[in-house]
Amino acid sequence: MATKNNYISYLRVIATVFVILIHASTGFLNRFDADGFGWNYANWINSATRCSVPIFVMLSGALLLRKDEDTFVFYKKRITKLLYPFAFWTIIYLTYYFYRYTNFNALSTDKIVSITQDKILHGSNAHLWYLYMIIGMYLAIPYLRKIINQVSIREIEIFLMLWFASMILLNKHYYPVVPKFDLSFFSGYLGYLVFGYYLSIKSFNWNKYLPLIGYIVVSIFTVYMTYNWSLESNKYIPHWYNYVFPNTALAAGFIFLFIKNITPQDTELPSWLRVIDEYSFGIYLVHILPLNYLHPHVSKYMSTLWVVPVATLLTLISSIGIIYVLRKIPYGKYVSG
């Protein structure tokens, strides 16, 4: 069945695939080799896909900031849908950590408690940081919505300009050369909520392919800057991959506009896209498990050129399968994501 927000589904699928591509390629970056194909290949992939998480947050802004819900109703509907998967996947990845990375039987009780406490507080796997961030964003949305409903488009644009400024002013790398203005109110992932809402309601009289050109230009810029900064330091410098940084925000915005512009709203979505769209949150949560198994096996039989896309595709399919099965188990739909 067609939906008036077909472009939302396409963006969610793109962001999901981008996340897997990042995790399938990042390992090549840790072994810096300015002349090596593997490092430069991974640099291109990461430069093009680091807008993944920002797109997810922008979609939340586009969908939720326009709703008119009581604060407590919103919390009951949205926060609980995050807390159950949060608890479940924290346990899963904590167990996985002890199984894969430790000799559990040799650990003291104090060490087990210490590791468990740290993992619960800060994420039992690196990618679960997203849950901690998005829970904070969801807590803010009812109040942010009240502000958004009272301001003009021009005032939203001023907010976004201050948000872009905060990315530089609050970045520790630039402390020696920028004034220490406190723009923390305008900073962080909250800006992506507003950015997504803004782009969802704003019309631009641009050629529909102009945002695609903008995305390509920004991606090339990120490739160039990451390569040169890493070359100068003779080690991998991920500064330009920062999720909350102007180049990443611009890339996310350009992708958002491009997909919004080219997506027909009166056609039925392909079945494969509907599946990925429906399972996207679960795919994000589970994908590290199959990727960690599949990537080394694919690497044995394929060149670097093919390892990343093939591992990404197999991980995507496996993740869908795992979430499908999990949702068939009693109460699994509440924790799968």
Distance, in Å, from the CA atom of 239 to the CA atom of 127, rounded to the nearest integer, reads 18
Q: Is the pLDDT of residue 1 over 70?
A: no
**How many angstroms separate the CA atoms of 141 and 161, rounded?**
20
pLDDT at 2 over 80: no
- 63-74 average pLDDT score: 91
Contacts of 55 (CB under 8 A, 6+ apart): 11, 12, 14, 15, 18, 252, 255, 256
Rounded mean pLDDT of 195-203? 96
Distances in whole angstroms, Cα of residue 318 to Cα of each of 30, 64, 92, 279, 315 = 26, 30, 17, 12, 5
For residue 111 the two structure tokens come to 């060490």
- pLDDT category at 4 given cuts 50, 70, 90 is low
Instruction: Please indicate whether residue 24 or residue 264 has the higher confidence score (pLDDT).
Output: 24
Residue 165 has pLDDT above 50, yes or no: yes
- Is 3 a residue whose pLDDT tops 60? no
What is the phi/psi pair of residue 187, to 5°?
-100, 170
- Per-residue pLDDT tens over the stretch 98-130: 999 988 888 899 999 999 999 999 999 999 999
Q: At what angle do helices 271-286 and 304-328 cross, to 10 degrees?
A: 90
**Could you give the percent of the chain with pLDDT greater than 90?**
84
Task: Name the average pLDDT for the chain.
Answer: 94
Q: For residue 199, is pLDDT > 70?
A: yes
The 8-class DSSP code of residue 78 comes to: I
Share of the chain above pLDDT 70, in %: 99
pLDDT tens, position by position, 271-297 = 999 999 999 999 999 999 999 999 999
Provide the residue type at 136 as one letter.
G
